[in-house]
Amino acid sequence: MLTNDNKLHQFIHEITPYFIQIRQKIHMHPELGYQEELTAAVVAHELKQMGLDVVTGVGGTGVVAIIDSGKPGKTVALRAELDALPMTEMTELPYKSSHPGKMHACGHDGHTATLLIVANALCNFKNSFKGRVKLIFQPAEEGSAAGAAAMIKDGVLEAPAVDAIFAYHNYPGFAVGTVQTREGTVLSGNTNFTITVYGKGGHAASPDLNIDPILIAATLIKNIHELKLESGQIMSVTEVNGGSSKNIIPDYSALGGTLRYSTLTDREHLKKQLITLMNETALAYGGRAKIELIDHYLPTVNSTAETQHVFKIARNLLGNEKVGLKQKISRAAEDFSFYLAKVPGCYFFMGNGENSASCHNSEYDFNDDLLVDAAELLCRIAMDYLNNDITL
């Protein structure tokens, strides 16, 4: 570990109150994906105040900066998200969202503040490591907008090439500062589907003369619900549309939903199952159907060496009792998966408090008590990785 452990901890502890104010400012002014102009400007300003060269507009509204130790070595990337959710905040916080219909309900404001603390600390302790740390402030993680893919397309993993990447997400329901993750798949991939069912419309008083696409859609929903799936596989219907009049059987109806899976093999299997079920159900009633499938996020797959590195550093910093194995793959999806498909790394979780409202809840708030531990852990993950050859 580092020789100046206490100094690093004390430095982070001293600067955190300032960045709590930054976090709460960002919370008050939430911005949706690819609209994070103010948030990106705040981030860029803070990084420039640290003496860093800043690149803006990466992947749309992303911000990137590099902390160079001046000594040859690897490059580690650390990532935080900038975007908020299209929700109305229902808290009474003094810094609650000032924009109805927009809210930081997933803690991205806290992740951004964490990475700003890390940036400040690493700038002041860059004599303690070799190589470079690339800071990635990413737009549009939410809603399948794939800000990570946009940043990769703009070359965020290049010049210099990233050797490993790390990020964390706050974890409501668990004690502040506790850490969980796992090797391999840690979050699911997601594919959205839209199915259009075609029948034969006509007067509602003569159903025997028609082919009812609403009946076909309803039966298909029932068949999907009763489908026996393997562990970790999800097939959920979330949208249903059809008809516009009480006395007309329409010509078509539509339904939509999502597939969740832990491997790409599972993804293809789920697609085939859904297509077969759709065709069989429509044919049974004399109708037909078509499907549109859109793959959004890949499964988030942690590499072995980098995950063990996170476990080691977290145990050294926080103690064995605060670090555990995440037992189940999360059904949520994350575009950090796109980074991990290109370079090794680890995505981990840190407790946001046992009484924290869940993410994507209108009463959620990031717990500022998490900032010191999260920032110090990310600092040590990066510094130790750069100072030691992490191999399988």
Q: pLDDT tens digit string along 297-338?
A: 999 999 999 999 999 999 999 999 999 999 999 999 999 999
Residue 116 has pLDDT above 80, yes or no: yes
Task: Name the domain boundary from 241, 274, 297.
Answer: 297
Task: Name the domain boundary from 250, 268, 297.
Answer: 297
What pLDDT band is residue 144 in, cutting at 50, 70 and 90? Answer: confident
Domain for residue 82, yes or no?
Answer: yes
CATH number of the domain that 15 lies in? 3.40.630.10
Domain for residue 20, yes or no?
Answer: yes
User: Residues 251, 332: one domain?
Assistant: no
For position 39, what pLDDT does the model report? 98
What pLDDT band is residue 5 in, cutting at 50, 70 and 90? Answer: confident
Domain that holds residue 336: 5-183+303-387
Identity of the amino acid at 48: K
C-alpha torsion angle, residues 352, 356, 360, 361 (rounded to 10): -170
Q: Give the 3-state secondary structure of residue 184.
A: strand
Please tell me which residue in 89, 141, 266, 334 is annotated as part of the active site: 141
CATH number of the domain that 280 lies in? 3.30.70.360
The answer to whether 109 touches 26, Cβ cutoff 8 Å, is: yes
User: Residues 194, 144: one domain?
Assistant: no
Catalytic site includes residue 92: no
Task: Name the domain boundary from 247, 265, 297.
Answer: 297
The angle, 0 to 180 degrees and rounded to 10, between the axes of the packed helices 37-49 and 108-124 is 20
User: Residues 31, 58: one domain?
Assistant: yes
Burial class (CB in 10 A: 0-12, 13-18, 19+), 116: buried
Number of domains in the chain: 2
User: Residues 308, 293: one domain?
Assistant: no
User: Residues 72, 153: one domain?
Assistant: yes
Q: In this structure, what are the phi and psi dihedrals at residue 68, rounded to the nearest 5 degrees?
A: -105, 120
What pLDDT band is residue 1 in, cutting at 50, 70 and 90? Answer: very low
Please tell me which residue in 46, 81, 83, 373 is annotated as part of the active site: 83
Decide: pTM greater than 0.85.
yes
* pLDDT tens figures, 54-106: 999 999 999 999 999 999 999 999 999 999 999 999 999 999 999 999 999 99
Catalytic site includes residue 83: yes
Identity of the amino acid at 274: L
Residue 182 has pLDDT above 70, yes or no: yes
Domain for residue 392, yes or no?
Answer: no
For position 392, what pLDDT does the model report? 34
User: Residues 292, 334: one domain?
Assistant: no
Q: Give the 3-state secondary structure of residue 267.
A: helix
Q: Give the 3-state secondary structure of residue 135.
A: strand
